A and B are shown apart, each in its own frame.
Chain A
Amino acid sequence: DTGVSQDPRHKITKRGQNVTFRCDPISEHNRLYWYRQTLGQGPEFLTYFQNEAQLEKSRLLSDRFSAERPKGSFSTLEIQRTEQGDSAMYLCASSSGTDHQPQHFGDGTRLSIL
């Protein structure tokens, strides 16, 4: 069990550029979550997948954000036309199929917008 893997670990980009992050969940987990965390705050929910279906999106997820999970395996989170306010740690978590099972987190992708 290699845990949840995220790539890249760090991303520095200029304002207005597009960025894409990848998450590989624990292999037997069918639920996958994306969260965003800023300094000194707890993670905030962005979106959730059950297998390949995106079942919930937070109002925090503007039209510039899109997430996919093709074939119910890895997931990607894309941010288009990045803004200063997008600077944060983007965390991915996965869990097995029941609601009360704990979510296991990756070490995140830290995004810095210049």
Chain B
Amino acid sequence: QSALTQPPSVSGSPGQSVTISCTGTSSDVGSYNRVSWYQQPPGTAPKLMIYEVSNRPSGVPDRFSGSKSGNTASLTISGLQAEDEADYYCSSYTSTNTWVFGGGTKLTVL
């Protein structure tokens, strides 16, 4: 149950696009389209932003999109806004009937 690998930090200016990667293995990300992404502003509970690799729950802006290639999933935020500044986590279902999170990525809006 090793954590998925995310970059510790990314940054972008308002209006730009940023992409956060999430690398796992053939036992998790690579084998299942069961990757989720979460947004967590400081001091708050996480919020589901993407499920099943690329699906957005109701209410999540379409500026947020997800994709996957092989063992790596990605979250792209386009038209960056100040309110997007937060920690972002990926998660995947695994072959051992468990789940695993990434280490988290801090997004800074410059």
Q: Is this pair of chains taken from one and the same complex?
A: no
